[in-house]
Amino acid sequence: MSNILIIKHGSLGDLIQANGAMKDIKKFYQNRKVFLLTSQQYAIFMSECPYIDGVIIDKRLPRWNLFYLNNLKKNLAKYNFTKVFDLQNSSRTKFYKRFIIKDSEWSSSETSLEPGQNKRDFDKDPVLNRMEIQLKKSGIETEFVKNIDLSWATSDISRLTKQYANNEYVLLFPFCSKKLPQKKWPFFRELISKLKQDYKNKYPILLAPGPNEIDEANQLNGKVVLDNKEPVNIKTLISLINNAKFIIANDTGPAHIASHLDKKGLVLFGSHTTAKKVSIENYNFKAISVDNLKNLDVETVLNAVKTRLD
């Protein structure tokens, strides 16, 4: 039997956003096996996704590494993929279409364009709108692409919440990739001090750093959540977000998780992109957008929190 391939390498926020599309694809191909090609750091997490029958790891080595690419091609050929849904839509996946999985039918942003439309204009639309169009162009009726269900990705974290908070807490994500410093608001330490002062410790202020963010988190005057002295895994991270009273974050994966869990919170945007383009705002989760995050003062963020945090 032929199989279906979805390509989504990451980041974490992008994978979360693609969950609804994956569910729609699996529902349409319920009698076929649906596999996900993704990066190694997300393989264990996505292997538990109920809309995926199997995960294939792509190490994404340089394209001049012909030995790796040849092995990847041979490995993918074993699965007899007749349809590929490219939800990454990158230069790498475009290369894969030409040289690695060239005999399969592809669905991508390029196959979704209207006559006379160019990809640059298409890419300006909100990401979930683009995914919906892409699936509909393949004849898939979309039900979940904009209605993302992450219930499968949560777990019981009562042990951790008792350790760090006891009950309600505010969860902050002041981190971002070192490659994208323009995404980082520099005043989280001051904000934490103000929150503690104004709420009289009503809500513990928690931080959930990744492996390379622990030292930074320790400087911010909040409670640093670790699990047996290690950073929490992705399911625990999602569960921490799901149980939080309020979220404040830079434009990173945890912000997208909070949005799709319909949590109350704020995400802070500079000029790197827009909240509309990345489909992150909803009734409960709002964005503050400025030209330069260095010019966004603490009082503005604090006042936005106070209007929505009980």
Q: What count of other Cβ atoms lies within 10 Å of the Cβ of residue 217?
A: 24
Same domain? For 171 and 297 the reply is yes
pLDDT at res. 6: 98
Return the pLDDT at 20.
Answer: 97
Residues 140 and 161 in one domain: no
Query: CATH code at 182?
Result: 3.40.50.2000
pLDDT of residue 21: 98
Question: Same domain, yes or no, for 140 and 162?
Answer: no
What secondary structure letter does DSSP report for 42? G
What pTM value is reported for the model?
0.92
Task: State whether 164 and 145 are in the same domain.
Answer: no
Question: DSSP string spanning 154-189?
Answer: ----HHHHHHHTSS--EEEE----TT-GGG--S-HH
Write down the pLDDT at residue 109.
93
Is the domain of 119 the same as that of 133?
yes
Residues 140 and 214 in one domain: no
Parallel, antiparallel, or unpaired: how do β-strands 54-57 and 3-7 relate? unpaired
Query: Where a domain ends, among 127, 151, 175?
Result: 151
Last residue in a domain, options 151, 180, 204: 151
Q: Are residues 12 and 106 in the same domain?
A: yes
Backbone angles phi, psi at 177, to 5 degrees: -60, 140
CA distance 75 to 98: 16
| Segment-wise mean pLDDT, segments of 10 residues, the chain, 310 residues | 93 93 97 97 96 97 96 96 96 96 94 90 92 96 95 94 91 89 93 93 93 93 94 96 97 94 95 89 95 95 93
Same domain, 124 and 9: yes
Query: Which of 151, 180, 210 finishes a domain?
Result: 151
Examine the domain organization and report whether 144 and 185 are in the same domain.
Answer: no
DSSP E strands in 66-142: the ranges are 81-86, 105-107
Amino acid 17: pLDDT: 94
Name the residue range of residue 113's domain.
Answer: 3-151
For residues 47 and 79, the answer to whether their CB atoms sit within 8 Å is no
